[in-house]
């Protein structure tokens, strides 16, 4: 099981085998982001039904692990899975 805080190799893709190794709370965010392709924490919170602050924290954990990227567009921060 991959733990939050684990830094993965740069070329580790977010495919299903990686998804299956994630803890439940991060897998839910990663699956929702794979569906939306690119989203803010607010967009993701609508998809997962969790509050925005929690979703933002989980997304940033995925960013720290190297599985998700983020970029700024104006005032908004967008998260995405590199494909």
Which residues would be at the binding site for another protein (CB under 8 A)?
13-17, 19-20, 24, 27-28, 31, 34-37, 81-83
- Residue 7 contacts residue 65 (beta carbons within 8 Å): yes
- Smallest Cα–Cα separation from 21: which of 57, 55, 53, 62? 62
Pick the closer one to another protein by CB: 7 or 17. 17
Question: Which DSSP letter does residue 37 get?
Answer: S
Structure tokens at 72: 């700024």
Pick the closer one to another protein by CB: 74 or 83. 83
Pick the closer one to another protein by CB: 41 or 68. 68
Q: How far is the CB of 62 from another protein (least distance, A)?
A: 13
């Amino acid at each position: 099981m991959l733990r939050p805080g684990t830094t993965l190799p740069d070329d580790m893709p977010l495919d299903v085998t990686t998804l299956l190794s994630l803890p439940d709370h991060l897998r839910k965010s990663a699956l929702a982001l794979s569906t939306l392709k690119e989203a803010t924490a607010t967009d993701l919170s609508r998809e997962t039904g969790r509050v925005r602050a929690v979703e933002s924290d989980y997304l940033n954990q995925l960013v720290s692990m190297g599985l998700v990227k983020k970029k700024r567009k104006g005032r908004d921060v967008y998260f995405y899975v590199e494909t």
